[in-house]
């Protein structure tokens, strides 16, 4: 049921002609209340698309009644014309829904530089069509309409104690620090204030979407939004709600990683024994971004030397000559030297686990990434995206 699993939400997805394939490309999610609580986190790239610039302003008061999302064009680096397109999209939705434009968020994804008059006309018409078709079971249609190179729609739900969380996500590449080419909408019928929603969302994304680093590239359009309708009338126990929201985010992040462009391995990098959590993240991320490591995994080659060479570039606190490395459960390196023979490591399964012990403290972090494959090169060289 995606974003319409919780009470108080309607959604839909329609084909507005933005995608040359004719597939659905405009989605609308509406919060019917009684609360209109919203919170959002955005790409940390300084190059931000127009919908990001708009949504950052609109979310400031913590009130959101609707969100309009389009695939088939990023509306990024399209100048003031592009910003006006976003503004007009919010106004169009607001007018049709009888709400304030300042309570409508906008998200776009697709090719940077796409946002001309034809784009504007299609987005506005698609918004109107979509709003006329809103329904309480339109979540799956919305999840489909935000897909770009995704091969499957991504949705998740969580049934709490009298409240529910639903979510949808798109993203299949450019998954990098601080969210990347990722549009996510999370909904709940729990009773939350804007401050609670913001705190829960930041806590959940920090250890899930922010730990996903498919190819080190950071998008201009990433946005993760949480909407709370309060329709259940239940004020959730804070720890339980945060844990559930984190579960939903982790579920969606895992789906994003599994559908990353051209990947043949999903790699979980577990770093432990770090002096600080930041150190653990830095070490995991340095490995996740190392092309030589990523190609070795594609080749099913347990080349642990590339692991040590990659993490040796960090400023994290550890002794490079006192590090243990496991690949799929086999300790291939201990104290910075060879341990078990590499022949013992089976890297043929898609699910790949790298464990690194830095012997410098008690902190840990897990980074999720993918291998670097021929298919990745093909998808990202043969098509503009």
> In 3D, which of 290, 295, 298 has the Cα closest to residue 367?
290
Of residues 12 and 373, the one with the C-beta less far from its own copies? 373
Tell me whether residue 208 is one of the annotated catalytic residues: no
Q: Determine how β-strand 223-228 pairs with β-strand 183-188.
A: parallel
Joined together, the tokens standing for residue 246 give 């984190």
Give me the residues paired with residue 156 across strands.
Answer: 167
Of residues 15 and 178, the one with the C-beta less far from its own copies? 178
From edge to edge, which strands make up the β-sheet containing 37-42?
37-42, 223-228, 183-188, 164-170, 154-159
| Contact set for its own copies, span 334-363 (CB under 8 A) | 335-338
> At closest approach, how far in Å is the CB of 149 from its own copies?
12
Give me the residues paired with residue 75 across strands.
Answer: none
> At closest approach, how far in Å is the CB of 384 from its own copies?
5
Residue indicated by tokens 């201009």: 220
> At closest approach, how far in Å is the CB of 56 from its own copies?
14
Of residues 30 and 296, the one with the C-beta less far from its own copies? 296
Give me the residues paired with residue 109 across strands.
Answer: 73
Instruction: Name which position in 103, 198, 210, 215 contacts its own copies (CB under 8 A).
Output: 215
Would you list the DSSP string of 251-267? Answer: HHHHHHHHT-TT-S-EE
Joined together, the tokens standing for residue 371 give 């291998």
Instruction: Name which position in 7, 125, 199, 217 contacts its own copies (CB under 8 A).
Output: 217
Would you list the DSSP string of 48-97? Answer: --HHHHHHHHHGGGSB-SEEEEE-SB---S-HHHHHHHHHHHHHHHHHHH
- Asked if residue 220 binds its own copies (CB under 8 A), the reply is yes
Q: What number of chain residues touch its own copies (CB under 8 A)?
A: 59
> At closest approach, how far in Å is the CB of 309 from its own copies?
5
Query: In this structure, are residues 263 and 337 in contact, taking their beta carbons and an 8 Å threshold?
Result: no
> At closest approach, how far in Å is the CB of 270 from its own copies?
20
Of residues 77 and 359, the one with the C-beta less far from its own copies? 77
Instruction: Name which position in 34, 162, 320, 349 contacts its own copies (CB under 8 A).
Output: 320
Annotated binding residues for substrate, as ranges?
148, 170, 181, 261, 380, 385
> At closest approach, how far in Å is the CB of 45 from its own copies?
4
Instruction: Name which position in 136, 238, 240, 378 contacts its own copies (CB under 8 A).
Output: 378
Collect all residues with Cβ–Cβ distance below 8 Å to 50 and sequence separation of at least 6.
Answer: 75, 76, 78, 82, 83, 85, 86, 108, 115
Of residues 19 and 48, the one with the C-beta less far from its own copies? 48
Of residues 63 and 375, the one with the C-beta less far from its own copies? 375
Query: In this structure, are residues 67 and 37 in contact, taking their beta carbons and an 8 Å threshold?
Result: no
| Contact set for its own copies, span 52-81 (CB under 8 A) | 74, 76-79
Joined together, the tokens standing for residue 191 give 């009773």
Gap between the Cα atoms of 368 and 161, Å rounded: 30
Query: In this structure, are residues 148 and 20 in contact, taking their beta carbons and an 8 Å threshold?
Result: no
| Contact set for its own copies, span 154-173 (CB under 8 A) | 173
Of residues 86 and 373, the one with the C-beta less far from its own copies? 373
| Contact set for its own copies, span 15-34 (CB under 8 A) | none
| Contact set for its own copies, span 290-309 (CB under 8 A) | 290-292, 295-296, 298-299, 301, 303-306, 308-309
Annotated binding residues, as ranges?
148, 170, 181, 261, 380, 385
Residue 324 CB neighbour total at 10 angstroms = 18
Collect all residues with Cβ–Cβ distance below 8 Å to 115 and sequence separation of at least 6.
Answer: 50, 73, 74, 75, 76, 78, 81, 82, 85
Instruction: Name which position in 48, 87, 120, 170 contacts its own copies (CB under 8 A).
Output: 48
> At closest approach, how far in Å is the CB of 86 from its own copies?
15
| Contact set for its own copies, span 93-122 (CB under 8 A) | 111-113
Query: In this structure, are residues 115 and 75 in contact, taking their beta carbons and an 8 Å threshold?
Result: yes
| Contact set for its own copies, span 229-288 (CB under 8 A) | none
Active-site option among 85, 181, 205, 246: 181
Number of residues that this document lists for the chain: 385
> What positions carry a catalytic annotation?
181
Residues that bind its own copies (CB under 8 A): 44-48, 74, 76-79, 111-113, 173-174, 215-220, 289-292, 295-296, 298-299, 301, 303-306, 308-314, 320-321, 333, 335-338, 372-374, 376-378, 380-384
């Amino acid at each position: 049921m995606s974003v319409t699993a919780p009470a108080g939400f309607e959604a839909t997805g329609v084909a507005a002609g933005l995608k040359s394939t004719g597939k659905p490309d405009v989605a609308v999610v509406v919060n019917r209340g009684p609360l209109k609580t919203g919170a959002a986190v955005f790409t940390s790239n300084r190059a931000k698309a127009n919908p990001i610039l708009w949504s950052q302003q609109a979310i400031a008061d913590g009130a959101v009644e609707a969100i309009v999302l389009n695939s088939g064009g990023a509306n990024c680096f399209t100048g003031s014309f592009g910003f006006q397109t976003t503004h007009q999209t919010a106004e169009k939705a607001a007018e049709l829904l009888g709400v304030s434009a300042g309570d409508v968020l906008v998200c776009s994804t697709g090719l940077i530089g796409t946002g001309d008059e034809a784009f504007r006309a299609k987005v506005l018409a698609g918004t109107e069509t979509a709003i006329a078709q809103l329904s309480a079971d339109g979540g799956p249609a919305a999840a489909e309409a935000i897909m770009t190179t995704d091969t499957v729609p991504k949705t998740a739900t969580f049934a709490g104690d009298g409240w529910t969380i639903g979510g949808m996500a798109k993203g299949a590449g450019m998954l990098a620090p601080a969210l990347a080419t990722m549009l996510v909408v999370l909904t709940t019928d729990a009773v939350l204030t804007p401050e609670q929603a913001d705190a829960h969302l930041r806590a959940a994304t920090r250890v899930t979407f922010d730990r996903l680093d498919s190819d080190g590239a950071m998008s201009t359009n990433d946005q993760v939004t949480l909407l709370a309708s309060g329709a259940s009338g239940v004020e959730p126990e804070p720890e339980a709600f945060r844990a559930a929201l984190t579960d939903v985010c982790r579920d969606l992040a895992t789906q994003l990683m599994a559908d990353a462009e051209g990947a043949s391995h999903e790699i979980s990098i577990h770093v432990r024994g770090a002096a600080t959590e930041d150190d653990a993240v830095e070490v995991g991320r340095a490995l996740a971004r190392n092309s030589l490591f990523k190609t070795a995994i594609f080749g099913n080659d347990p080349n642990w030397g590339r692991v040590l060479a990659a993490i040796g570039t960090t400023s994290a606190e550890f002794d490079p000559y006192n590090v243990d490395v496991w690949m799929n459960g086999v300790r291939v390196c201990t104290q910075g030297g060879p341990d078990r023979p590499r022949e013992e490591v089976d890297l043929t399964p898609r699910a790949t686990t790298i464990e690194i012990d830095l012997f410098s403290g008690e902190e840990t972090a897990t980074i999720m990434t993918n291998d670097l494959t021929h298919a990745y090169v093909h998808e990202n060289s043969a098509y503009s995206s």
